[in-house]
Amino acid sequence: MPEPNAVEGLIQALRKLPGVGVKSAARMAFHLLQNDMPGALQLARALEQAVNSVKHCQLCNTLTERAICATCSSPQRDRSKLCVVETPADQAALERTLAYQGLYFVLMGKLSPLDGIGPKEIGLKKLFDRVAAAADSQTPLSSEAVGAREVQEVILATNFTAEGEATAHVIAQALKSRGVQVTRLARGVPVGSELEYVDLGTIAHALVDRR
Amino acid sequence: MPEPNAVEGLIQALRKLPGVGVKSAARMAFHLLQNDMPGALQLARALEQAVNSVKHCQLCNTLTERAICATCSSPQRDRSKLCVVETPADQAALERTLAYQGLYFVLMGKLSPLDGIGPKEIGLKKLFDRVAAAADSQTPLSSEAVGAREVQEVILATNFTAEGEATAHVIAQALKSRGVQVTRLARGVPVGSELEYVDLGTIAHALVDRR
């Protein structure tokens, strides 16, 4: 039986990872120490580097090492569209589609009152400030200000879970009064799926939103 | 989209963990950086500490921070029994049963010729040397030498997979000629299971090994 010190400490630390229980953690620890010492050191360095260098983008709130992330500072992005997502992972999924060229705003969470996560815990105020700044610059309606690529459409791409839907609803309510177009990702039948195996709620939404 | 540097490096490093693909790695990285920076640092330190301090026990080959591990150096263990397991995780599983008070020998692997893992890659020579030393001290048959708690029984507890069985077979063949009793964990129907759902091979073994 290994001593409770280093190996046990490593197993406990690995359990901090989401989806890793004590058995997986033990398997990971033993694997690293038996077969992949360089991998373990690489992971240790990557963790330290990420913790020390990663912060939130001042514009879109995503994780980045710069004050303004690569997406926000890219001149190629369409600055009239702002896509609101819950996490950087959701953002990465949208980026992989190559179907969206606008900017993002990453909430870093979702409204979840039962867990004590309200508008302050996620980036809602930062989002509203950003859109408000855009709306203000729109009020004089100088075509140049609009042409200056400010937010004209907010696309809500929070998850289609209860919390994600609630978050989308709150954002939509708050933004509609500010004169910004607010849209939501389409609900419907996933590509490649057979109707027989799709859940009823999805089919009902696909019927209502038919085009 | 986060920059490819620190976050991407962390995702790549997390993929070194067994059973972690790119999606799980991304989820882990974003979780740590969003919600658990202290956990990330703790994991980094635990990894470094384990890599720097953990080595193999000189007697049983398991992972430990000392020259001789706690189990091998415990005066409470029955030194006449030596249980051969593949990994420290298997050893930990046996320890949790509280049913075994002997010593262990941890192979740190199993014979797997297709993967190029032969007797040299796992600790077979160390095991044979250890048992040979015990057998030599038995040859003069001074009752004191036998009483000096040397190995009299080797219990093969490698896994019941093709490679584990082959490893057990090789060890059994090598040790039988050295006058040591060699036993194997019993095969049979798992506790709590219904015959209807147990695979045929297991039932056949349980029939043959009935008592």
Q: Given this model, what pLDDT does residue A125 score?
A: 84
DSSP A65: S
Q: Given this model, what pLDDT does residue B7 score?
A: 87
DSSP-derived 3-state class of residue B107: coil
- Collect all residues of chain B within an 8 Å Cβ-Cβ radius of residue A1: 62, 69-71, 91-92, 95
Region at B3 (left for phi over 0; alpha for psi -120 to 50; beta for the rest): beta
Q: Find the residue in B nearest to A10 (Cα).
A: B46
Cα–Cα distance measured from residue A63 to residue A84, given in angstroms and rounded to the nearest whole number? 15
Instruction: Tell me the β-bridge partners of B104.
Output: B83
pTM above 0.90, yes or no: no
> What number is the average pLDDT over the span B92-120?
87
Q: Given this model, what pLDDT does residue B112 score?
A: 85
CA distance, residue B22 to nearest chain A CA (Å): 11
Q: Given this model, what pLDDT does residue B201 score?
A: 85
Determine whether the interchain pair B18/A28 forms a contact, defined as Cβ–Cβ distance below 8 Å: yes
Considering CB atoms only, which of B33, B40, B70 is closest to A1? Answer: B70
Radius of gyration of chain B, Cα coordinates, nearest whole angstrom = 22
Considering CB atoms only, which of A30, A40, A54 is closest to B7? Answer: A54
Predicted complex ipTM:
0.74
User: What mean pLDDT is reported for chain B?
Assistant: 84
Cα–Cα distance measured from residue B92 to residue B60, given in angstroms and rounded to the nearest whole number? 14
Considering CB atoms only, which of B33, B41, B49 is closest to A54? Answer: B33
A125-168, pLDDT tens digit by residue?
888 888 876 655 544 444 433 333 478 899 999 999 988 999 99
CA distance, residue A99 to nearest chain B CA (Å): 14
Q: Compute the C-alpha angle A169/A174/A175, nearest 5°.
A: 100
Burial status of residue B173 (CB atoms within 10 A of its CB: 0-12, 13-18, 19 or more): exposed
- Collect all residues of chain A within an 8 Å Cβ-Cβ radius of residue B30: 63, 87-89
Torsion of CA A43, A47, A48, A54, to 10 degrees: 140
